Structure 1
């Protein structure tokens, strides 16, 4: 019950921005999509963590930090890639192949590129207003992580 309410709250929060996003998602570079996708992913992760129950903020921060690491995002990338449409796969690939100026400090380059691909996909879907699809893919990825443990 609480999770459903939280998911509806996220969708309402993100959907209110749909009116001000007046560009087509295809007009953005993969790194611009990853930039906005990083923020959207963070909201989902923090909501997921707080949904687990009230805890000291430090513990919630540590749990969130683990889920936003490039290594974890790369695992999510691999767990959802077979569930994507052709269009989504193309965006994921464009994000993964984008040449970033920054170098990751806590991940290898392959993990970092996969994480960028995931963030680009989330950004793309966000700009298109497909919040439900973002929710579906992130939940699928998080289930894949919990099955790993």
Structure 2
């Protein structure tokens, strides 16, 4: 089965290129959305579901600094292929970081989002869950 046949069932429109050939910034663009979805699902699974609390917690988890720390926890768990995707994402030219983000944190956050986007387009939702659940558990 090729990568294109093993697609994510949630991907209604497949990208023009295979994930391995996509621009890392484009992968990060999708990875940002998938990461935020996973964070929101995690937070809703917890007892305190007041909207203000959910928003505050989500904001803290999706910041560049928080994503950098999460990626640091994930590094030992990554396959060689995943580590290569992270390097591509970290080294990509993704524009200027937001005013409230450190450049190094922003590059690492882009790398994490690139990995999540790559895994998403590879149809590896279980792997995304495995990595993020392990990192979130370690965070607590």
Normalization by structure 2: what TM-score? 0.89
After TM superposition, the structure 1 = structure 2 runs for residues 103-118 of structure 1, keeping only pairs within 5 Å, are 103-118=97-112
**1:17 corresponds to:** 10
Match for residue 123 of structure 1 among 97, 114, 117: 117
* Greater helix content: 1
- Show structure 2 runs of 5+ residues with no match: 1-6
- CA RMSD in angstroms comes to 1.6
- Show structure 1 runs of 5+ residues with no match: 1-13
Kindly indicate whether the alpha-carbon contact (under 8 Å) linking 2:116 and 2:128 is maintained by their aligned counterparts in 1: yes
Say whether 1:60 aligns with 2:67: no
> 1:123: Cα distance to partner?
0.1
Aligned-partner SS, 1:52: coil
Deviation above 6 Å: which 4+ runs of structure 1?
Answer: none
Kindly indicate whether the alpha-carbon contact (under 8 Å) linking 1:75 and 1:145 is maintained by their aligned counterparts in 2: no
* Number of residue-to-residue matches in the alignment: 133
**1:70 corresponds to:** 64
